């Protein structure tokens, strides 16, 4: 236990006045009680109740758990012999539950200077092994079903007895039977007997008992399915709902606003089919995914000798408008932004969603030279899209129904993006169509069949001169800033295991994307290219991003990331579109370098031409590359309250394959591993629940841009100074959320 946490707790105790918080809670309740709101104004009434509940809960937390310092800190762990006995009992119970029936636990302790060292000695003994398994069931059909699916059982011969596996087996059997029509079955009907009498070599005979009456082991078959898609609309329409049916589903509605053809594609429970818990949940989830309903509930009516599935859904408003203002961080320092979104649901009565989104924001981009200290970067975009809950490709009704369980979506988008950075101004007109779907094992897929972009750029005088200098040296980057036509198609796979980033269990995230640019240009060239004098691009690009978190304990976790990618241009200009290059450095990358300022290879940033610059590196310009590799590891631990800290290590670089002829920037298989930039540092994370504010301090360890023999720079670190030839600064990064 940290001494700072103990100090914090008892500092809070000295200042804690429970009665003060009780009186404050009473004042809050009295103040809200004086506010008179018409009961007919449901929205205002709901908002008032929410605010009251939030404020009262805040005071209750202080009444029950103390003030902020008490909740952030921890009290002293006092020696208590009773706690030792409880701990020993828990050790024995834990071992017994895992087959060590004759374990022994001893304890000894030493006292010195009012501190106690406690030593627990555990002799687990020999574990008991499951050597036979049997089933007792009043239903032969259930016994046969369990035998048919025994390959998924958690119980097997030759394994240690383990009560946790018995719990998992009960859950597995309950889910299996409830997917096979056994509506009334529950895990409480399953018990286990472990018999060690007469067994050899610490063997156990495990007997599973299903103790249920005939009704609990009855299979239910659905007689009919009824859906009401406009629950809560009675006050607007009144009267009796109209009725209709489609594909065996009975509909009742006031306003026939949804095309039943598409609704039934997301309903996976049908008349004359066995009850299935999984299909019921899938139906509920897929209807909710449509973004048409506030809630979707499914219940089953067993009265009257019938088994009827009822689906109740309350519609969302057809029109919605949202505004958001805040501070964002993507590459540099925080900057304000404003975004607005308009949504029109069920546009063509086929569950489509039409959206218009706009965003405008500023961001700070810092220079690490003495020439300029701070730039303003501006970005604005406007997009219009319409999405459909199906694949917009010709297929039969049966195939559409089969694919509907994968939550298919088709999205058509047109947009405009404007970027004004210190080096360039760039505008992009975009048109694309994308198909997305997902599988039940957590895999998500996305296929963009067409993505067309018309790009125009204007470079600053300094950047333009720099591009011309690079061109003379064999670097083709200048081609990426010519008026361009970029077309591509891409396919990506995303796997998010255990909700990546949660603090309860280990999680894993993987995204792989392959992109082919200018593929259709191999067949025909649109007239727009020649008429507008646009530069065509042909390229292949691959990117793989892997992330993992390991939970050590409730206060500590370790996170890892490996991000790699490669792009190859086969058009005549031999260069990737600028946005398709790889960059490294910044708050979500190698944090000891400014955003996009590391690499490529061992190529140093150009020395400033200013005679008074003392030979400082010129980091004004971004450093693109054709190949990327970066990896990070981060130890995250709770410090106190909402404040956490992190220690991190980042390595990586980018290299050129064809866009730069300078040998120092080239990727070489026999030397690339010696060209990684390495950074380390310390960070603070302020967890406000609704967002995480991050402050990282990145320190260079190894700089591949420096001459050999001088690349280890950790011993030259200093604060608050520019990059120099003798000293290295600490780089401060501000971000929202975790870096990975």
524-533 pLDDT, tens digit per residue, is 777 778 788 8
Judgement on whether residues 202 and 305 belong to the same structural domain of the protein: no
pLDDT at 482: 87
Mark which of 295, 315, 335 sits at the end of a domain: 315
State the average pLDDT over residues 17-23: 86
Q: Binning pLDDT at 50, 70 and 90, where does residue 215 land?
A: confident
Task: Tell me the CATH number at 238.
Answer: 3.10.20.310
Q: How many CA atoms lie within 13 A of 149 on its CB side?
A: 14
Contact by Cβ (8 Å): 173, 146: yes
Is the overall model pTM greater than 0.75, yes or no? yes
Q: Tell me: the pLDDT tens digits for 724-736?
A: 445 567 888 888 8
My answer on whether 609 and 727 are in the same domain is yes
3-class secondary structure per residue, 397-435: HHHHHHHHCCCCEEEEEEEEEEEECCCEEEEEEEEEEEE
What's the whole-number mean pLDDT along residues 304-310?
Answer: 93
Which stretch, 147-151, 332-336, 608-612, has highest mean pLDDT?
147-151
Task: Collapse the DSSP code of 199 into the 3-class scheme (helix H, G, I; strand E, B; otherwise coil) and give the result.
Answer: coil
| Structural domain count of the chain | 5
pLDDT at 370: 36
The answer as to whether 243 is a domain residue is: yes
737 and 601, same structural domain? Answer: yes
Q: Give the integer Cα–Cα distance in Å for 142 and 217.
A: 8
The model's pLDDT over 457-468, given as tens digits with 9 standing for 90+, comes to 998 888 888 888
Please report whether residue 321 resides in a domain.
Answer: no
| C-alpha distances out from residue 216 to 139, 177, 307, 535, 551, Å | 11, 11, 15, 71, 40
Reading the block at residue 55, the tokens are 């404020």
Please write the tens of the pLDDT for every residue from 607-658.
444 434 444 566 767 888 999 999 999 999 988 878 899 999 999 999 999 8
- Asked if residue 716 and residue 639 are part of one domain, the reply reads yes
Q: Is residue 392 part of a domain?
A: no
Got the DSSP string for 13-39?
HHH--HHHHHHHHHHHHHHHHH----T
Mind giving me the DSSP string for 582-641?
B---STTS-TTS-TT-S-STTPPPPBPS-TTSTT-B---S---BSEEEEEEEEEEEEEET
- Please tell me whether residues 593 and 731 are part of one structural domain: yes
State the pLDDT at residue 8: 82
H or E element at residue 516: strand 507-517
Instruction: Quote the DSSP letter at residue 383.
Output: E
* pLDDT at residue 170 tops 90: yes
Closest alpha carbon to 569 in 561, 577, 558? 577
The pLDDT assigned to 262 comes to 92
Instruction: Mark whether 236 and 165 lie in a shared domain.
Output: no
Residue pLDDT, tens place only, 378-404: 899 999 999 999 998 888 888 888 899
Q: Is the pLDDT of residue 46 over 80?
A: no
Q: How confident is the model at residue 575 (pLDDT cuts 50, 70, 90)?
A: confident
Whether pLDDT at 326 is above 80 = no
34 pLDDT exceeds 80? no
The residues, any chain, with a CB within 8 Å of residue 153's CB and separated by 6 or more, are 169, 172
Whether 89 and 228 share a structural domain: no
Burial class for 654, CB neighbours closer than 10 Å (0-12, 13-18, 19+): buried
State whether 639 and 735 are in the same domain. Answer: yes
Percent of the chain with pLDDT over 70: 92
What integer is the mean pLDDT of 427-444? 92
Note whether residue 670 is domain-resident: yes
What pLDDT was estimated at residue 611? 35
What phi, psi does 302 have (nearest 5°)?
-105, 10
Domain co-membership, 195 together with 275: no
Domain residue limits at 163: 129-217
In a domain, 528, yes or no: no
Mean pLDDT value of segment 135-160: 91
The whole-angstrom separation of Cα 359 and Cα 363 is 13
Same domain, 641 and 694: yes
Weakest mean pLDDT among 143-147, 351-355, 475-479, 517-521: 475-479
Confidence of residue 36 (pLDDT cuts 50, 70, 90): low
Q: Please report, for residues 204, 288, 585, 664, 675, the alpha-carbon distance to residue 668 in angstroms, rounded to integers and kept in the order given.
A: 61, 51, 21, 10, 10
Q: Please check whether residues 177 and 307 belong to one and the same domain.
A: no
In a domain, 297, yes or no: yes
Contact status, residue 155 vs residue 190, Cβ threshold 8 Å: no
Determine what percent of the chain is predicted with pLDDT higher than 90. 53
Beta strands (DSSP E) in 113-189 are 115-123, 129-136
Domain ends where: 217, 250, 275?
217
Are residues 300 and 238 located together in one domain of the fold?
yes
**612: nearest Cα among 372, 368, 371:** 371
At residue 502, does pLDDT exceed 60?
A: yes
Give dist(CA 430, CA 418) in Å, integer.
Answer: 11
Cα dihedral 233, 238, 241, 242, rounded to 10, equals: -110
Q: How many Cβ atoms from other residues are within 10 Å of residue 112's Cβ?
A: 7
Most confident region among 191-195, 325-329, 457-461 by mean pLDDT: 191-195
Min mean pLDDT across 255-259, 275-279, 373-377, 695-699 is at 373-377
Count of positions (residues) in the chain: 740
Q: CA-to-CA distance for 481 and 457, rounded, in angstroms?
A: 6
pLDDT tens, residue by residue, 88-133:
999 999 999 999 999 999 998 888 877 888 899 999 999 999 999 9
Kindly tell me if the per-residue pLDDT of 606 is higher than 70.
no
Q: Verify cis geometry, omega within 30 degrees of 0, for the bond prior to 600.
A: yes
Query: Rounded mean pLDDT of 41-58?
Result: 75
If pLDDT is split at 50, 70 and 90, which confidence band does 56 have? confident
Is residue 720, in this structure, part of any structural domain at all?
Answer: yes
Residue 238 lies in a domain: yes
């Amino acid at each position: 236990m940290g001494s700072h946490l103990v100090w914090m707790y008892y500092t809070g105790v000295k200042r804690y006045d429970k009665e003060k918080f009780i009186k404050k809670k009473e004042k809050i309740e009295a103040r809200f009680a004086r506010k008179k709101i018409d009961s007919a104004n449901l929205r205002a009434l709901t908002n008032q109740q929410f605010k009251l509940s939030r404020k009262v809960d805040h005071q209750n937390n202080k009444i029950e758990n103390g003030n902020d310092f008490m909740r952030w800190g921890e009290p002293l762990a006092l020696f208590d012999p009773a706690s030792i006995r409880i701990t020993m009992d828990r050790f024995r119970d834990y071992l017994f539950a895992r087959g060590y029936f004759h374990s022994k636990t001893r304890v000894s302790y030493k006292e010195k200077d009012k501190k106690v060292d406690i030593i627990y000695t555990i002799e687990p003994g020999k574990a008991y092994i499951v050597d036979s398994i049997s089933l007792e069931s009043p239903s032969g059909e259930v016994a046969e079903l369990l035998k048919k699916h025994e390959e998924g059982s958690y119980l097997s011969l030759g394994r240690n007895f383990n009560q946790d596996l018995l719990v998992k087996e009960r859950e597995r059997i309950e889910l299996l039977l409830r997917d096979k029509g056994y509506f009334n079955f529950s895990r409480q009907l399953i018990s286990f007997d472990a018999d060690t009498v007469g067994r050899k070599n610490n063997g156990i005979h495990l007997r599973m008992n299903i103790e249920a009456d005939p009704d609990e082991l009855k299979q239910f078959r659905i007689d009919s399915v009824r859906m009401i898609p406009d629950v809560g609309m009675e006050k607007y329409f009144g009267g009796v709902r109209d009725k209709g049916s489609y594909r065996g589903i009975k509909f009742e509605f006031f306003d026939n606003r949804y095309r039943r053809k598409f609704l039934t594609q997301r309903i996976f429970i049908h008349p004359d089919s066995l009850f299935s818990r999984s299909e019921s949940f899938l139906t509920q989830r897929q209807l909710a995914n449509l973004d048409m309903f506030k809630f979707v509930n499914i219940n089953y009516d067993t009265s009257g000798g019938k088994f009827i599935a009822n689906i109740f859904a309350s519609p969302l408003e057809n029109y919605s408008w949202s505004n958001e203002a805040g501070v964002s961080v993507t590459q540099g320092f925080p900057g304000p932004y404003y975004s607005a979104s308009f949504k029109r649901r069920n546009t063509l009565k086929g569950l489509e969603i039409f959206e218009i989104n706009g965003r405008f924001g500023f961001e700070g981009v810092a220079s690490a030279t003495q020439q300029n200290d701070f730039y303003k970067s501006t970005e604005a975009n406007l997009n219009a899209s319409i999405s459909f809950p199906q694949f917009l490709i010709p297929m039969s009704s049966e195939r559409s129904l089969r694919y509907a369980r994968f939550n298919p979506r088709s999205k058509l988008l047109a947009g405009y993006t404007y970027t004004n950075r210190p080096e360039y101004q760039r505008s992009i007109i975009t048109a694309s169509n994308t198909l997305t779907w997902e599988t039940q094992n957590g895999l998500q897929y996305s296929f963009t069949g067409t993505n067309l972009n018309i790009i125009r750029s204007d470079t600053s005088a300094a950047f333009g001169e720099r591009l011309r200098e690079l061109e003379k040296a064999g670097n083709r980057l200048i081609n990426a800033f010519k008026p361009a036509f970029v077309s591509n198609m891409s396919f990506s796979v995303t796997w998010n295991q255990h909700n990546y980033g949660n603090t309860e269990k280990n999680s894993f995230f993987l995204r792989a994307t392959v992109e082919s640019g200018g593929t259709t240009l191999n067949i025909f060239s649109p007239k727009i290219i020649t008429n507008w004098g646009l530069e065509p691009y042909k390229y292949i690009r691959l990117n793989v991003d892997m992330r993992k978190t390991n939970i050590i304990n409730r206060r500590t976790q370790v996170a890892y990331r490996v991000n790699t990618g490669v792009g190859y241009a086969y058009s005549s200009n031999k260069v990737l579109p600028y946005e398709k290059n790889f960059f490294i450095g910044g708050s979500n990358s190698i944090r000891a370098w400014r955003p996009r300022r590391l690499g490529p290879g061992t190529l140093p940033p150009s020395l400033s031409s200013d005679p008074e610059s003392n030979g400082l590196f010129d980091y004004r310009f971004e450093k693109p590359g054709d190949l990327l590799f970066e990896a990070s590891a981060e130890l995250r631990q709770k410090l106190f309250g909402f404040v956490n800290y992190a220690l991190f290590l980042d390595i990586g670089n980018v290299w050129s394959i064809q866009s730069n002829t300078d040998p120092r920037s080239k990727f070489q298989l026999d030397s690339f591993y010696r060209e990684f930039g390495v950074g380390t540092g310390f960070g603070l994370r302020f967890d406000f629940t609704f967002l995480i504010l991050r402050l990282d301090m990145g320190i260079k360890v190894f700089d591949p841009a420096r001459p050999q023999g001088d690349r280890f720079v950790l011993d030259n670190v200093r604060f608050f100074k520019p990059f120099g030839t003798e000293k290295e600064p600490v780089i401060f990064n501000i971000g929202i959320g975790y870096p990975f």
